[in-house]
Amino acid sequence: MVSEDRLAEALKLALELGKGREFRQSVELVVVFKGADPKSSEVKFRDFVQLPRGPGKETEVLVIASGNLQLQAREAGIDVLTPEELKSLTKRDAKKLSRRYDVFLVQPDLMTQVGRVLGPALGPRGKFPIPIPAGANLKALVARYASSTRLRNKEQAWVGCRIGSEDMPLEHLVENAVAVLNFIKSKYAKPLETTAKIYFKTTMGPAVEVSM
């Protein structure tokens, strides 16, 4: 595994080179798989990874449910969309929701309806509905996704995600980077040290490669 000191060095430089913008920038991690087949399942990602120090911004979660799940969401102060409201959404409404929310947690028997109504708006943004597991503690589930980052690619030999914001302590960004790299390693059997390149960047800053 790449040492945390090397990760910290690259992160520090990326933050330095990217500073000076008039808004709080995201800090991003990019892993490029050398010589990998972009169509290979081992470099395909469509996952959420929980960040130990959080993503550095508020993650907006929408629950789409009826009955008891809907009641749980309302009691916990979580934004909720009912089946009736879902059915009445226009294409414009769907696009607004796709921009406003980062995570869409859905009662399983509503997945087909959600896919039909919201799918065309969510797909281009790299978002997708997530079924709520049976018996899940909804409040805890929402909290987990609110502290997660999204790994996603599409037939590309690289994957990237947000690991925080530029105003977070360096050691917190390193912790989050380690969590994401460990997750990638759990799916990608080859050692990242010899078969991949790792980069950090801010939203508007240049990419800085981690020295292996």
Binned at pLDDT 50, 70 and 90, residue 155 comes out as: confident
Domain span at 190 = 4-56+149-209
The CATH number linked to 22 is 3.30.190.20
Beta-ladder partners of 159? 31
Mean predicted confidence (pLDDT) in 53-63: 92
How many separate domains does the chain show? Answer: 2
Residue 53, phi then psi, degrees to nearest 5: -110, 10
- Are 101 and 167 contained in the same domain? no
Query: Cβ(157)–Cβ(43) under 8 Å?
Result: yes
Q: What is the pLDDT of residue 73?
A: 94
The CATH number linked to 84 is 3.40.50.790
| pLDDT of 212 over the 80 cut | no
- Are 142 and 175 contained in the same domain? no
- Are 141 and 154 contained in the same domain? no
| pLDDT of 87 over the 80 cut | yes
pLDDT over 70 percentage in the chain: 100
What CA–CA distance (Å, rounded) separates 161 from 133? 25
| pLDDT of 158 over the 90 cut | yes
Q: What is the largest CA-CA distance in the chain?
A: 54
What CA–CA distance (Å, rounded) separates 211 from 209? 6
- Are 88 and 42 contained in the same domain? no
